Amino acid sequence: MTSRNRSTQSSGSAHSLAPRRRTVVKAAAATAVLAAPLAAAIPARAASDAPAFLHGVASGDPLPDGVLLWTRVTPAADATPGSGVGPDTEVSWVVATDKALTNVVSKGTTTATAASDHTVKADIRGLAPATDYWFRFSAGGTDSPVARTRTAPATDAAVTGLRFGVVTCANWEAGYFASYRHLALRNDLDAWLHLGDYIYEYGTGEYGTRDTVVREHAPTHEIITLADYRTRHGKYKTDTDLQALHAKAPVIAIWDDHEFANDSWSGGAENHTEGAEGTWTARQAAAKQAYFEWMPVRPAIAGTTYRRLRFGKLADLSLLDLRSFRSQQVSTGSGSVDDPDRTITGRAQLDWLKAGLKASDTTWRLVGNSVMISPFAIGSLSADLLKPLAKLLGLPQDGLALNTDQWDGYTDDRRELLAHLRSNAIGNTVFLTGDIHMSWANDVPVDAGTYPLSASAATEFVITSVTSDNLDDLLKVSPGVVSTLAAPLIQLANRHVHWVDTDRHGYGILDITAARAQMDYYVLSDKTKADATSSWERSYRTRSGTQKVERTYDPV
């Protein structure tokens, strides 16, 4: 196991640490009105200690005929998340075609128990496709807020357009979730995608916060046990901006490493000490159990988050789990990143992805991808020099990787997937990516060393973090300063990168028509302000049939 480097810190002290991969990117870069927040109010506890819905309501994984509904009921004052106490409580739900809930189309009851941390799910079926619905939970005479959801279009529907919010990497202690509020204020979202790091596992002050813990999470120690993970999920779900977004549209979520521990892989994590923190098997199982309890996500193949959703004939969405099956990360220079026995997806998931992309009959093939698939090189060499030098130094042969936690550290899987796209003439594949705390618009080259003379197999839109530190935070300078210096160097060494912003926080809006898939990038005024404003920064699109990104000046 790789040893950990940590510090302890009280709120407001000046010793925050960034994970390894952020530090590596930092080193490379260094060389070079809206109204008051929309909030689903948290119900006050009655003197009688009646059940309460303190964590909001949510929906997710929309299908043409159904959607998954979620809530958590607090049956008694001491039945807090992770407590393991509290009575069994009957919870009812109702679904209607109108916000007043007069035209009811589905209803039922279930039981919230301590065994599931008093979370409940209702997998509703028999609904109409491409239709807005409203729903509410009730328990012991208390009603939850009323929330909106929406079903997916019919499988064979000729859909003219889709619009998704896209977010990733929300560190509670680093700031407020204004990105969620701004998405919740929109009325045009079919769903929103969360590409991983919905929560963070660190103890208070242990993760980069620009030296200031804006708000302390719970528990204050690093989460390891089932009770810990439940408590942390519960804390996140008290955020009113997050509650507002969950109440506005269904979420489609995948996990990345921080739902477990930093740089996690199938057998451990950089941020896990075997023995002192129990076994990785037990910690991983606890994290997964809490995740599926607290998220409106259907457990998919092998109890993971890889699954596929379809939105008419316009798009399907393959969602990946790049943590449960991957080989351990290697250090740059070890010569192992090209080892064909190492994998980021696992054999079964890669075969599933390839088969799904090949069989797809939709116009667009979207891939929910937690870590960047595009190569990221620190230098530009001619093809005839790059490969022998890479072999000599033990570096990946299609780029000098800085971040072996990304697909750069598992180049054989990437080569196989991109070759599959090319050999089967599979076009219009768009990777939607989080993790790296920066915004990128990339072509995905078959051979980065010869690009653009060689082909692009796909395109990739990478979304910056909601709050988690990026380069200006790590260097403690004003937003834009690092990007001005670093972006030209990054693009010079990576000719497939059309744009990169290393500094800002925000979210994306993915807008899809038959002619193009477009990402509009939005940034926040200040992640440490609960009332932060949002503004459009850039837009990039890929036109149908091109496999290349281009800038557009027409945000949607």
Torsion of CA 99, 117, 370, 205, to 10 degrees: 110
- Angle (CA) 82-122-253 rounded to 5° is 70
Average pLDDT, the chain: 88
* Length in residues, the chain: 556
Q: 20-32+153-552 — its CATH code?
A: 3.60.21.70
**pLDDT(457) > 60:** yes
Residue 501 is inside which H or E element, if any? strand 497-501
* pTM as predicted: 0.89
Per-residue confidence (pLDDT) for residue 48, from 0 to 100: 53
Write the pLDDT tens digit of every residue in 217-275.
999 999 999 999 999 999 999 999 999 999 999 999 999 999 999 999 999 999 999 99
Strands 147-150 and 315-319: unpaired
The answer to whether 488 and 530 have CB atoms below 8 angstroms apart is: no
CA 408, chain centre distance (Å): 19
Does residue 374 have a pLDDT over 90?
Answer: yes
Q: Note the pLDDT tens digit of each residue in 303-360.
A: 788 999 999 999 999 999 999 999 999 876 566 888 899 999 999 999 999 999 999 9
Domain 65-150 carries which CATH code? Answer: 2.60.40.380
| Rounded distance between C-alpha atoms, residue 231 and residue 227, angstroms | 6
540: amino acid identity, one letter: Y
- For residue 31, the tally of other CB atoms under 10 A from its CB is 9
pLDDT attached to residue 332: 62
State pLDDT tens for residues 475-510: 888 888 888 888 888 898 899 999 999 999 999 999
Distance CA 269, CA 4 (A): 10
Residue-wise pLDDT tens digits, 117-135: 999 999 999 999 999 999 9
pLDDT of residue 338: 84
Report pLDDT for 442: 98
pLDDT value at residue 554: 79
How far is Cα 118 from Cα 73, in angstroms, rounded to an integer?
6
In this predicted structure, which of 7-11, 109-113, 257-261, 470-474 has the lowest mean pLDDT?
7-11
pLDDT tens column, 130-177: 999 999 999 999 999 999 999 999 999 999 999 999 999 999 999 999
Domain boundaries, given as residue ranges, for the chain:
20-32+153-552, 65-150
User: Which pLDDT band, with edges at 50, 70 and 90, does 401 fall under?
Assistant: low
* The token pair that represents 15 in the structure block: 């010793």
pLDDT at residue 304 in the model: 87
Tokens of 93: 């739900």
Q: What is the 3 state secondary structure string of 408-438?
A: HHCHHHHHHHHHHHHHCCCCCEEEEECCCCC
Q: How many helices (H) and strands (E) does the chain have?
A: 10, 22
Closest by Cα among 250, 296, 330, 242 to 54? 242
Sheet containing strand 66-72, edge to edge, reads 119-124, 66-72, 57-63, 251-253, 191-194, 162-167, 506-512, 516-524, 534-543, 549-552
Q: What is the pLDDT of residue 380?
A: 47
Model confidence at 555, pLDDT cuts 50, 70, 90, reads confident
